[in-house]
Amino acid sequence: MAALAAYRHPGQYQAKREGLDLARASTSKPAKQAAAPQAIPNRERPPEPKRHPADKAELLEYYRQMLLIRRFEEKAGQLYGLGLIGGFCHLYIGQEAVAVGLQSALEPGKDSVITGYRDHGHMLAYGIDPKVIMAELTGRAAGISRGKGGSMHMFSVDHKFYGGHGIVGAQVSLGTGLGFSHKYKGDGGVCLAYFGDGAANQGQVYESFNMAELWKLPIIFVIENNQYAMGTSVNRSSAEDQLYRRGESFRIPGLQVDGMDVLAVRGAATTALEWVRAGKGPVLLELKTYRYRGHSMSDPAKYRSRDEVQAVRDKSDPIEAAKRELEKLGVGEDALKDIDKEIRRIVSEAADFGESSPEPDAAELYTDVLVGRY
Ligand SMILES: Cc1ncc(C[n+]2csc(CCOP(=O)(O)OP(=O)(O)O)c2C)c(N)n1
Ligand SMILES: [Mg+2]
């Protein structure tokens, strides 16, 4: 964990969990009372997560997946700039370790995932074909939502990926429903419901927490604390900005995790899944992370300095960190370059596909939507 203590952003707040300094990308205030959740007596809690002991092959795979998300998102940003992608588009750059670390612990076809509008990375981490994601972004018939959903409204029942939601916080209630469905059907699945630090202040989140704990639903609530909700930093909007504590009054244990370290995230996923799969009810994970780009493509990002973003990029970038670790494990520069080349090829093929495949037929305007003669 030595690397965790390495970075403190100048002038920023420090967020600490017992002995673990997560301040590198943090804008939240210090914990007011250390060890509060652990101090509640007679309440069983999951153990402290351990950093996942990945071998070289496993870490290489996480690196590859994070790089795919990074390059895909960069390309999406370019295509947006060229006018090939319209409407809203929220990029995931900086947060890659969260989706990759968590979803690598899931069982595909059994567990379900639901998230908000910043959703491309979660789909890529779930192994969904980059071509159909890109084609959705460019509004083509081959897109995962037949070109009619766009960036925020992607869905794949086959993958148990349930969106892609534009209403902040809605996915938490819907995810609780997915958790209920897993329990009702007895299919052994767990739902991973992602939401942001801003969404964490939504009322329906807490109604969902109550039901989820009351019925011991198999769900992991994941707060991706990227420090900002549009232009508002978490400490300006949140009375309790140690968001992992938000489930305590519903008896949902919370864990704060370094969301810039893919192996720390993977370790937390293991701990959370063990708890939930044992029938002990939900867990809340707060992933401390950071988004490098604006909230959406139309955000001038005047609420933070370039220096702040650069400092996080320089000191805490999840991909660079994984690369350094791989180098220590003996992975040579050539091998890393080969991966980079392969990823660039995949992304460029996805972009070509998104640009060249046909738009939906005009007759499709009235299918898959709730309009018509009823
Ligand atoms: C119910 C609702 N209120 C407001 C909005 C407008 N809105 C869109 S994104 C956003 C900020 C959410 O921030 P956060 O939950 O931190 O997620 P992030 O964008 O950082 O991933 C807001 C207020 C919305 N889409 N839905
Ligand atoms: Mg946010």
Alpha-carbon distance of 227 to 223, in angstroms, equals: 11
Q: Work out the pLDDT band at 10, boundaries 50, 70, 90.
A: very low
> CA triplet 108, 111, 115: central angle to 5 degrees?
105
Report the percentage of the chain scoring pLDDT > 70: 88
The pLDDT tens digits for 146-170 are 999 999 999 999 999 999 999 999 9
Who has greater pLDDT, 24 or 250? 250
Nearest atom within ligand 1 for CA of residue 167: 26
Q: Is 118 in the pocket of ligand 1 (CB under 6 A)?
A: yes
Domain boundaries, given as residue ranges, for the chain: 19-25+61-355
Q: Is 197 in the pocket of ligand 1 (CB under 6 A)?
A: yes
The pLDDT tens digits for 92-116 are 999 999 999 999 999 989 999 999 9
Q: How far is CA 211 from CA 120, 240, 312, in A?
A: 29, 22, 37
Q: Is 290 in the pocket of ligand 1 (CB under 6 A)?
A: no
Nearest atom within ligand 1 for CA of residue 296: 19
The pLDDT tens digits for 31-87 are 444 445 555 777 899 999 999 999 999 999 999 999 999 999 999 999 999 999 999
Instruction: Write the class of the CATH domain 19-25+61-355.
Output: alpha beta
Please choose, from the candidates 83, 259, 282, 80, the residue with its C-alpha nearest in 3D space to the C-alpha of residue 178: 282
Predicted pLDDT of residue 369: 78
Half-sphere exposure of residue 353, counting CA atoms within 13 Å on the CB side?
A: 20
Q: Please name the residues in contact with 254: beta carbons below 8 A apart, sequence gap of 6 or more.
A: 37, 243, 244, 245, 246, 247, 248, 283, 284, 285, 286
Show the tokens assigned to 71: 């390059």
Who has greater pLDDT, 26 or 327? 327
* Reported pTM: 0.90
Mutate to test the pocket of ligand 1, among 168, 201, 243, 290 (most ligand atoms within 8 A of CB): 168
Report the percentage of the chain scoring pLDDT > 90: 85
Q: Please name the residues in contact with 26: beta carbons below 8 A apart, sequence gap of 6 or more.
A: 9, 12, 13, 14, 15, 227, 288
| Cross-strand partners of 221 | 193, 284
Tokens 């009372």, located at residue? 33
Predicted pLDDT of residue 373: 59
Q: Is 168 in the pocket of ligand 1 (CB under 6 A)?
A: yes
- Residue 353 Cα to ligand 2 midpoint, Å, equals 31
Mutate to test the pocket of ligand 1, among 197, 230, 241 (most ligand atoms within 8 A of CB): 230
Instruction: Write the residue with the smallest CA distance to atom 13 of ligand 1.
Output: 229
Average pLDDT over residues 25-34: 46
Alpha-carbon distance of 111 to 160, in angstroms, equals: 7
